[in-house]
Amino acid sequence: MMDLFEKCRSFQDAKTLMGAGLYPFFKPIEASQGSTVTTHGTKRVMIGSNNYLGLTHHPRVMAAAKRAIDEFGTGCTGSRFLNGNLVSHERLEESLAKFLGKEACLVFSTGFLANQGSLSCLVGRNDAILSDRENHASIIEGTRLAVGETIRFPHNDMDALDRILTEKRAQYDGVLIVADGVFSMSGEIVDLPGLVKIASKHNCKLYIDDAHSLGVLGELGRGTGAHFGLTDEVDLIMGTFSKSFASIGGFIAGDADTIHYIKHKARPFMFSAAMPPSAVATVQECLNVIHEEPQIFDNLWKNARKMKRELSGLGFDTLASQTPIIPVVIGDDVKAFSFTKALYEHGVFATPVVSPAVPAGMALIRTSYMATHTEDDLDYVAEVFKKLGKQFGLIR
């Protein structure tokens, strides 16, 4: 017999990085303001955040969160199914459904739970999920809980997806095609027109995770469907509030009957405490702000295009990014950790992504940009990347 905790004692990956002074995770943030954070007593430009619209410090958003605490307290202390259902939860669902162009919406405590709960309850024993290979971990966990079969198709490869369905579709009662709208590591946008065509051809339902699309793509940041003019063809839209909407929580939106079913069948929804009042109010006010201050989208895309142009122009490989997520390919895992450390020492907060999150030999620095980054911020980041890129032999 083996001690259950032996694997814990033998796990040395993180300790090895710590010993080498290259461990890049769990850096304690002492303060944050706009596009900068203070860590280890030093202010640094944040380019590792998902705060695309920069609304976490918007005065109206912060004021709304504070008012909600005054009205409802700090938490709901129970699930919405029982004692934690606030009128503000229901108002937010109505606002989101209207914003997204869907009949109904259901908000979860986190985006992870929204994927896990929705996927696991929808896909039965005789059903199947077709999941893009680069989908987020929360989708993967949702597919693991679903009792039906899951088939992963090559990333954004419509021909491969079509071949799989041509061969296997008749084996299943229902099929759900699931993909990220924006892939979180590469910044690439899904081929939604291709997915819609294939879903229609093979009588499948379509589920799009708009975690990194909400607040980024489409008119007023309505997401991937709006970006392509295909909102009606997307059966279910999932999203999270921990990116552009400056809070925490998640949602699933679609037709009223499907959302009603998820509301009464998704165990991660039924048995998790409700979103706290301040989080709900934050999201509601973010919706108000983006309607009334649409210039933030101009700022976001101006900054994203500038940094794509700067980093690519220096000679870095930024993959197929089409969004404010701009990866910088480093290659070797250890080199990526070393590069991240050097960025940090030069006042730039970014995060590395290594295998197995990306293929071996494709380690990268995941950079992302906000509407609130200043020209000085971005010029400084570009200059640091130029200096370190030469130092590490990544660019001439």
CATH number, domain of 32, equals 3.90.1150.10
In our burial notation (b when 16+ CB lie closer than 10 A, e otherwise), range 142-179 reads bbeebebbbebbebbebeebbebbeeeeeebeebbbbb
CA–CA distance, 250 with 111 (Å, rounded to integer): 4
- Specify whether the CB–CB gap between 34 and 372 falls below 8 A: yes
CA–CA distance, 223 with 210 (Å, rounded to integer): 6
Element spanning 301, H or E:
helix 295-314
Q: Give, for all 396 residues of the chain, the pLDDT tens digit.
A: 889 999 999 999 999 999 999 999 999 999 999 899 999 999 999 999 999 999 999 999 999 999 999 999 999 999 999 999 999 999 999 999 999 999 999 999 999 999 999 999 999 999 999 999 999 999 999 999 999 999 999 999 999 999 999 999 999 999 999 999 999 999 999 999 999 999 999 999 999 999 999 999 999 999 999 999 999 999 999 999 999 999 999 999 999 999 999 999 999 999 999 999 999 999 999 999 999 999 999 999 999 999 999 999 999 999 999 999 999 999 999 999 999 999 999 999 999 999 888 888 999 999 999 999 999 999 999 999 999 999 999 998
Structural domain count, the chain: 2
The boundaries of the domain holding residue 335 are 11-46+294-391
- Specify whether the CB–CB gap between 352 and 340 falls below 8 A: yes
Q: Would you call 212 a catalytic residue per the annotation?
A: yes
Q: Would you call 184 a catalytic residue per the annotation?
A: yes
Whole-structure pTM value = 0.96
Residues 193 and 130 in one domain: yes
Q: What is the pLDDT of residue 396?
A: 82
Instruction: Find tokens 């303001």 and name the residue.
Output: 33
Q: What is the pLDDT of residue 359?
A: 87
Q: What is the pLDDT of residue 34?
A: 87
Residue 350 belongs to some domain of the structure: yes
Active-site choice (49, 184, 242, 272): 184
Q: What is the pLDDT of residue 357?
A: 84
Active-site choice (102, 136, 212, 263): 212
Residue 5 belongs to some domain of the structure: no
Active-site choice (227, 243, 263, 373): 243
- Residue 109: beta bridge partners? none
Interacting residues of 146 by C-beta distance below 8 A, sequence separation 6+? 119, 120, 122, 123, 127, 129
The CATH code of the domain that includes 214 is 3.40.640.10
Question: Which two structure tokens, joined as six digits, stand for 373?
Answer: 């980054």
Boundary (domain end) residue, out of 245, 275, 292: 292
DSSP annotation string for 321-374: --SSEEEEEEESHHHHHHHHHHHHHTTEE-EEE-TTSS-TT-EEEEEE--TT--
The one-character DSSP state at 189 is B
